[in-house]
């Protein structure tokens, strides 16, 4: 089988992993002339976008899609009839370098089906990273999937070469994982996330120490872009509340950089035990919005979702839905309100809030300024007070406010 055919199979097998970030790692470049590559400080770079709207930043492939496990939601499960392939370590290394030199990618995201044993699989994955770093002095981004049961020494090695490590929690509820992925063990996954977090903490403490005493040797490197995970949404019956609780728990426990939500997607040769239809993609989108509210807007996992429903509204964004349930907190005077309160106004993003706080010290915000702050007027106006605007009390108290934000009924037909 030639490399191109293998690539087709092994990229196809990897595409259900949503993560493609190349951000948040240490700053590196190759100006010393010895190696290849650099990392973009701050944000990563998306080199292309597929028609599914997803960013293509990394060469995302599996080392092999042969797998001992039989996870029902997975296209690569042992009982699936998909064609199988396996890259050699050299092939992945060469492909990464070839793509990188042409500026197609930021680096490599390597995962693998479980073959022989957790340690054997992990060893192969780590070997690719080692060769890229040590033999080719590759300074680009490397994301490695961590096999939960892998040996501590292999994990340490993975962290030395990789920018980011990840282990997928797969589904939000433990009992559904037992049904869908009988060989997987949430407890082993969590223990390994805990192991990673301890090493990440250790590395950052050592780094802080080294900053204080620059004379000392550099501390061992460990995954400077941290760890992340992915949850499949819609393959089981978990509610959005359960999903957010799980996320809050994971963020707090393992200091994850990101939890990715991946709407369950129909796969070729799927199992009978799975829903045939995909959940609406907008559910995934709403979960990301809620995740952002938890991480950047000061919302707790328990307050975002209407407890009587347990699910996020598909019709409107979670902050708007929250504001409609908490009208007693509005309208808010934009020129006086605290940062925390401003962040809770529908349509107010973090940047807009920063600009408001800067601007209002010098000049009062008026309704004509909203556009310059990139704030959607219709969404924000019912909830705010400005020198030249006050929403009528009847609007905030009335039942018709929510109606305003519901999408208009659409004629049936194909989006064109």
Partner 1 sequence: MHHIRLDSDTDFDGWRKAARGLVLADVVPADVTWTVAGDEPELFDGPGLAPGAGAFAEAQASFTDSASTQSASTQSTFSHSPSSQPASLSDDTPSPSPTQTFNVPARFVELAKTAILHRDPQRFAYLYQLLWRLRTNPELMQVATDPDVARLQAMAKAIRRDEHKMHAFVRFREIGREPKSRYVAWFEPEHHIVELAAPFFARRFADMEWSILTPDICAHWDGHAVAFTPGVAKSMAPSDDRLEETWRTYYASIFNPARLKTKAMQAEMPKKYWRNLPEAALIKPLIEEAERKTSAMVAAEATAPKKPQRQEQPMTKTTKHGAETLAHLREEAKDCRACDLWKPATQTVFGEGPQHATVMLVGEQPGDKEDLAGKPFVGPAGQMLDRALAEAGIDRAKTYVTNAVKHFKFVPRGKIRLHQKPNTPEIKACRQWYERELATIKPQLVVAMGATAAQSVLGKITPINKNRGHLLNQADGTQVLVTVHPSYLLRLPDEDAKALEYKRFVDDLKIVAAHLNKAHAA
- For partner 1, the closer of residues 100 and 324 by Cβ is 100
- For partner 1, the closer of residues 51 and 307 by Cβ is 51
Tell the smallest beta-carbon distance from residue 402 to partner 1 (Å): 26
Using CB under 8 A as the binding rule, whether residue 117 contacts partner 1 is answered as: yes
Tell the smallest beta-carbon distance from residue 107 to partner 1 (Å): 11
Judge contact between 170 and 232, C-beta under 8 A: yes
Using CB under 8 A as the binding rule, whether residue 281 contacts partner 1 is answered as: yes
Point out which residues pair with 44 in neighbouring strands.
Answer: none
Find the part of the chain contacting partner 1 (CB under 8 A) among 12-20, 160-168, 319-327, 381-389: 12-20
Find the part of the chain contacting partner 1 (CB under 8 A) among 30-38, 152-160, 306-314, 398-406: 30-38
Q: Which of 265, 292, 268, 267 is nearest to 54 (CA)?
A: 265
- For partner 1, the closer of residues 37 and 331 by Cβ is 37
Tell the smallest beta-carbon distance from residue 215 to partner 1 (Å): 26
Tell the smallest beta-carbon distance from residue 401 to partner 1 (Å): 27
Using CB under 8 A as the binding rule, whether residue 46 contacts partner 1 is answered as: yes
Using CB under 8 A as the binding rule, whether residue 378 contacts partner 1 is answered as: no
177-236: contacts with partner 1 (CB under 8 A): 187, 190-191, 193-195, 197-198
- For partner 1, the closer of residues 212 and 272 by Cβ is 272
Tokens representing residue 175 in the block = 């009992």
Tell the smallest beta-carbon distance from residue 54 to partner 1 (Å): 7
Task: Identify the residue among 259, 365, 381, 384 touching partner 1 (CB under 8 A).
Answer: 365
- For partner 1, the closer of residues 103 and 394 by Cβ is 103
Task: Identify the residue among 373, 380, 384, 386 touching partner 1 (CB under 8 A).
Answer: 373
Judge contact between 234 and 283, C-beta under 8 A: yes
Peptide bond into 118 cis (omega under 30): no
Using CB under 8 A as the binding rule, whether residue 51 contacts partner 1 is answered as: yes
Q: Which of 251, 405, 380 is nearest to 313 (CA)?
A: 405
Task: Identify the residue among 149, 306, 333, 341 touching partner 1 (CB under 8 A).
Answer: 149
Find the part of the chain contacting partner 1 (CB under 8 A) among 60-68, 124-132, 388-396, 404-412: 60-68
Find the part of the chain contacting partner 1 (CB under 8 A) among 273-281, 317-325, 334-342, 402-410: 273-281
Tell the smallest beta-carbon distance from residue 50 to partner 1 (Å): 4
- How many whole angstroms from its chain centre is CA 364? 37
Tell the smallest beta-carbon distance from residue 194 to partner 1 (Å): 4
- CA dist 321 and 402 (Å) reads 8
Looking only at the bridges linking them, the beta strands covering 332-333 and 258-263 are unpaired
> Which string of x and - marks every residue 85-114 that binds partner 1 (by CB under 8 A)?
----------x--xx-xxxx----------
- For partner 1, the closer of residues 68 and 239 by Cβ is 68
Neighbours of 202 (CB within 10 A): 13
Tell the smallest beta-carbon distance from residue 73 to partner 1 (Å): 13
- For partner 1, the closer of residues 252 and 376 by Cβ is 252
Task: Identify the residue among 212, 218, 362, 408 touching partner 1 (CB under 8 A).
Answer: 362
- For partner 1, the closer of residues 42 and 307 by Cβ is 42
């Amino acid at each position: 089988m030639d490399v191109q055919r293998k690539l087709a199979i092994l990229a196809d097998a990897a595409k259900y992993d949503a993560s493609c970030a190349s951000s948040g790692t240490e700053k590196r470049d190759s100006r010393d002339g010895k190696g290849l590559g650099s990392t973009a400080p701050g944000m990563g770079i998306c080199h292309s976008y597929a028609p599914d709207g997803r960013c293509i930043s990394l060469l995302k492939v599996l080392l092999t899609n042969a797998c001992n496990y039989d996870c029902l939601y997975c296209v690569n499960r042992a009982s699936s009839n998909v064609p199988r392939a396996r890259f050699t370590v050299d092939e992945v290394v060469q492909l990464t370098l070839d793509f990188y030199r042409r500026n197609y990618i930021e680096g490599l995201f390597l995962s693998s089906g479980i073959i022989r044993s957790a340690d054997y699989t992990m060893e192969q994955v780590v070997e690719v990273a080692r060769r890229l770093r040590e033999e080719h002095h590759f300074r680009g981004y490397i994301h490695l999937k961590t096999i939960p049961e892998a040996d501590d020494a292999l994990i340490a090695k993975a962290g030395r070469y990789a920018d980011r490590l990840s282990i997928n929690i797969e589904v939000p509820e433990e009992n559904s994982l037992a049904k869908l992925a009988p060989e997987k063990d949430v407890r082993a996954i969590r223990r390994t996330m805990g192991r990673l977090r301890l090493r990440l903490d250790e590395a950052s403490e050592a780094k802080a120490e080294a900053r204080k005493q620059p004379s000392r040797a550099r501390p061992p490197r460990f995954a400077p872009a941290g760890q992340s995970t992915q949850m499949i949404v819609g393959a089981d019956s978990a509610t959005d509340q359960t999903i957010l609780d799980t996320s809050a728990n994971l963020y707090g426990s393992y200091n994850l950089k990101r939890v990715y939500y991946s709407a369950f997607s129909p796969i070729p040769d799927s199992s009978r035990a799975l829903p045939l239809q995909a959940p609406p993609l907008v559910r995934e989108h709403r979960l990301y919005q809620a995740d952002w509210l938890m991480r950047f807007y000061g919302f707790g996992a328990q307050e975002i979702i209407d407890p009587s429903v347990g699910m996020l509204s598909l019709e409107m964004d979670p902050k708007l839905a929250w504001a409609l349930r908490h009208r007693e907190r509005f309208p808010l005077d934009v020129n006086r309100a605290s940062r925390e309160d401003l962040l809770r106004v529908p349509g107010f993003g973090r940047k807009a809030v920063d600009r408001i706080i800067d601007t209002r010290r010098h000049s009062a915000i008026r309704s004509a300024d909203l556009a310059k702050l990139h704030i959607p007027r219709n969404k924000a106006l019912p909830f705010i007070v400005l020198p030249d605007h006050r929403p009528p009390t009847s609007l905030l108290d009335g039942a018709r406010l929510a109606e305003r934000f519901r999408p208009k009924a659409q004629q049936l037909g194909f989006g064109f």
